[in-house]
Amino acid sequence: MWTIQLIFSSFIVWCILVCCAGLLQRLRRRWKARSPERITPGPFSDQNPQAPAEIGTDTAEKKAVQTGAAAHPVKFAVVICAHNEEQVLGHILRDLQEQHYPQDRYHTFVFADHCTDGTVALARRFPNVTVWEHTEGERSSKGKVLNDFMPRLLTLPEAFDCIAIFDADNQIGPGFLMKFNEAFTAGAAIVTGRRLAQNPYDSLVTQWYTMYWAMVNSMYNLPRYELGLSAMVSGTGFAFRADLLRDGWYSCSVSEDVEFTFQQNLAGHRVVYVDSAFFYDEQPARFSVMWSQLRRWCTGGIQVCTHYAWHWFSAFTARPSWRLFDIFAGVYLTGLFGLTAICFVLNAYVMLRDGLYLLFFVPTLAGYLATILTGYLAARLSGWPARKLAAGILTMPVFYSLLSYISLISMFKHQKTWVKIEHKSSLRKF
């Protein structure tokens, strides 16, 4: 058990080092730019494994990128997967209609999966929207819906440069597609935006999710962007070049986002994080829904770990790189997180049995306090008011403890059922 814990601890140490190095690089670039504004995305080419070159807020290089992006906007196929989303779908469809982007350079496709409410009728009332219904067989996962419809999208007479994927409950600002366009024009293959909770203060559960995504944004994706590593796609709010799907879309797990990230890293592409392309996503407010969703996430992570282990080993031995090592550490740390629960319980038993109370309580308390501090820093870096999220920050160790035990359960009993999150009809103003 000590050996297993040491291996996983090394992954955690690696992630901490990457986070610190990336944030220091961020500070260095901001100091050099002498500007309080956010740094715009630098060169995104997959062929450049080094940290991206700086583009300051007032440099000629930035203006050149923006001018090129405006003169040659890529053509987007915007995909929205929906199951009975009549209450919220209209918000993102209106947001898409109001984009500061040429109307003839993007088209929206709604993949309606076994919808029994007014979702289909609502979507068809919007111009520049095509609805494809999926009604055969039983209701399936998002990955299976994409498996069915992506080949159809790729064979349309109208050619698209890039494909963007959203969820029906997302809301985006008017400049979202232009931000992505700048990244693709600069050479990106895959781009993901900054995911923000739409309902951060509804319950303790939504506060946990708010902090979780703040950590993903500020302490995982952002540092990796700064260091030229790969960010992680998180299910929605991302886009990719259509030519990456020459062999079609393939998902064998219930976490199609993690699987897509892993597939593309193995193919030599990285996911570029665009911090200024933010979007809002409604989070579950009930503990039971959170439990089911985390079970599905953990199941998907385990499926990716087991299915792609040999593929990763072959790719890494053929062309070793820090990107491949980093994506391995990130995916396997989260996918097999449940092993840490086993190690903790067994090691705690041994130490308490042998009377090593300080050896148990001091590191445990230190870990608890470190998690709280991490949550606080993530809130500050993401612009959330830490005082309003105090309950979530102080109990964040409870969330991660639950996540480790949920992962442990999922190792032995997979969760494949997609539990619908009931969304509200609240509308965010931009």
Q: How confident is the model at residue 42 (pLDDT cuts 50, 70, 90)?
A: very low
Write down the pLDDT at residue 31: 81
Residue 335 lies in a domain: yes
Write down the pLDDT at residue 313: 93
The CATH number for 414's domain is: 3.90.550.10
Q: How confident is the model at residue 367 (pLDDT cuts 50, 70, 90)?
A: confident
Cα 423–403–208 angle (5° rounding)? 45
The parent domain of residue 332 ranges over 1-420
Mean pLDDT throughout 302-328?
A: 92
Q: Is residue 336 pLDDT above 80, yes or no?
A: no
Residue 210 lies in a domain: yes
Q: Is residue 413 pLDDT above 90, yes or no?
A: no
Q: Both ends of the chain: CA-CA distance in Å?
A: 51
Mean pLDDT throughout 383-399?
A: 94
Percent of the chain scored above 70 by pLDDT?
Answer: 84
- Average pLDDT of the residues of the chain: 84
Q: Is residue 309 pLDDT above 80, yes or no?
A: yes
Q: Is residue 419 pLDDT above 70, yes or no?
A: no
Residue 249 lies in a domain: yes
Assign 3-class secondary structure to the chain.
CHHHHHHHHHHHHHHHHHHHHHHHHHHHHHHHHCCCCCCCCCCCCCCCCCCCCCCCCCCHHHHHHHHHHHHCCCCEEEEEEECCCCCCHHHHHHHHHCCCCCHHHEEEEEEEECCCCCHHHHHHCCCCEEEEEECCCCCCCHHHHHHHHHHHHHCCCCCCCEEEEEECCCEECCCHHHHHHHHHHCCCCEEEEEEEECCCCCCHHHHHHHHHHHHHHHHHHHHHHHHCCCCCCCCCCEEEEHHHHCCCCCCCCCCHHHHHHHHHHHCCCCEEEEEEEEEEECCCCCHHHHHHHHHHHHHHHHHHHHHCHHHHHHHHHHCCCHHHHHHHHHHHHHHCCHHHHHHHHHHHHHHHHCCCHHHHHHHHHHHHHHHHHHHHHHHHHHCCCCCCCHHHHHCHHHHHHHHHHHHHHHHHCCCCCCCCCCCCCCCCCC
Write down the pLDDT at residue 428: 63
Ranked by mean pLDDT, the top range of 123-137, 180-194, 333-347 is 180-194
Residue 178 lies in a domain: yes
Q: Is residue 249 pLDDT above 80, yes or no?
A: yes
Q: Is residue 117 pLDDT above 70, yes or no?
A: yes
Write down the pLDDT at residue 347: 78
Write down the pLDDT at residue 7: 61
Residue pair 281/195 in contact (Cβ under 8 Å)? The answer is yes
Ranked by mean pLDDT, the top range of 113-122, 203-212, 249-258, 374-383 is 203-212
Domain count, the chain: 1
Residue 425 lies in a domain: no
Write down the pLDDT at residue 350: 81
Q: Is residue 330 pLDDT above 90, yes or no?
A: no
Q: How confident is the model at residue 324 (pLDDT cuts 50, 70, 90)?
A: very high
Taking the CB of residue 402, how many other CB atoms lie within 10 A of it?
16
Q: Is residue 89 pLDDT above 90, yes or no?
A: yes
Residue 313 lies in a domain: yes
Residue 428 lies in a domain: no
Percent of the chain scored above 90 by pLDDT?
Answer: 53
Write down the pLDDT at residue 390: 96
Residue 191 lies in a domain: yes
